[in-house]
Amino acid sequence: MGQRRVAVTGLGIVSPFGTDLEDYFARLCRGESAIRFYSTDIPRPLALPAVHCDSFDGGAQLGRGLAHTMDRCSQLGATAAFAAWRDAGFADDGATTLPHRNGGVAWGTALGGTLTFEQGYRDLYMLGRERVSPLSVVLGMNNAAASHISIQRKLPGPCHTYTIACASAAVAIGEAFHRIRRGESDLMITGGSDCPLGYGVVRAWEALRVVAPGDEASSYRACRPFSVDRTGLVLGEGAAALILEDWDHAQARRARIYAEMVGYGTTSDHSHLVKPEAEGQVRAIHAALADGNLDPAHIGYINAHGTATREGDPTEIAALRTVFGAHAEHLPVSATKSMHGHLMGATGAVEALVTTMALARGTIPPTAHLDTIDPECSGVRHVTTGSGALPAPEAALSNSFAFGGTNAVLAFRRAS
């Protein structure tokens, strides 16, 4: 059997803007930031710019009984996955026209049920209790979200969870794509979810001195990738999901196809746990282009990893300049983390969704708050809120580069 084509037939999002996909994308295209000043007193005072889904109610979305068996990370993930499932035209009861013998789940999360374990520590060490919730293990395990999705949508194929820092969801999507292309599955629910706003997690990131500061007035623009005055990343929670499906089956059931996924490249820097290297990113981009049979000149948009760190941003731009050469100066690049923050293991899914929507709608969202480009980040066509209309891209890449040195690049093409 030759390689099969892979369609993106469903998309789902959970964000501070809600779960409406078209509204979410429209807000990003306007440069609207979901970053706010977030504060809590549990277990001790904490205040910082962050992306928090204030209005999200897992019980309302999933039913109280099911939500009770899930950590917040799984609630967010299942909500996004089920939204994508419905968006693809499938029924909530799991009944579809697709052979269920090989449908599966590939999910990404960096932190999984960290909030559950943090609650356990508070119960034991702060409140002096002798035991934790008997549901702690099943709530907190990293594969819980994928398992719930598989069970609720009756998918007996592979159910895999990928934990690779901020490349988790991108790798999950790439592996799901390859599985369908090889003919091993007809459909995969894929994406990622994360909740990195637990007290211990936030304090750990602050200790690295890479978290952007801010207050009530300034937090909305705290994340400024590629800007000369950037001060660091902004943590966020949320989830995104994609339905990847065999192209022929999608066409046979007359499914709406957002885009075609055509390539996936992944490499390791194999040099340092937290210092990115352009050479490893270059190899991942080349691998994705080769996998998708794409010439660099075919690419009309790149959703950059762009975390707004001093070291990471110029490294990524250097990699783009190396791969795209003279084309780089005309290549539209944006970092939507400037608006949706860094959702850790879920970020690759959010950015893959945004990239898919950019192809489907012919509109490229900007890097918000990019007023003065750092000279070290020059050499590409940065898309800002003042860039005006750009040519609709025919093909696009989504970059995810993780601590630990894993690089993952996803390639998509406009549906035709």
For the annotated catalytic residues, the residue numbers are 166, 305, 342
Q: At what angle do helices 312-324 and 278-291 cross, to 10 degrees?
A: 50
User: DSSP string of 54-77?
Assistant: TT--HHHHH-HHHHHTS-HHHHHH
Residue 112, token pair as written in the block? 């999984």
Alpha helices, DSSP H, located in 49-143: 58-62, 64-68, 72-87, 114-121, 136-140
Are the C-beta atoms of residues 170 and 89 closer than 8 Å to each other? no
Residue 313 Cα distances to 77, 225, 333, 345, 401, angstroms = 28, 7, 12, 19, 11
Helix (H), strand (E), coil (C) string for 221-261: HCCCCCECCCCCECEECEEEEEEEEEHHHHHHCCCCCCEEE
Signed CA dihedral, 20, 21, 22, 27: sign only: positive
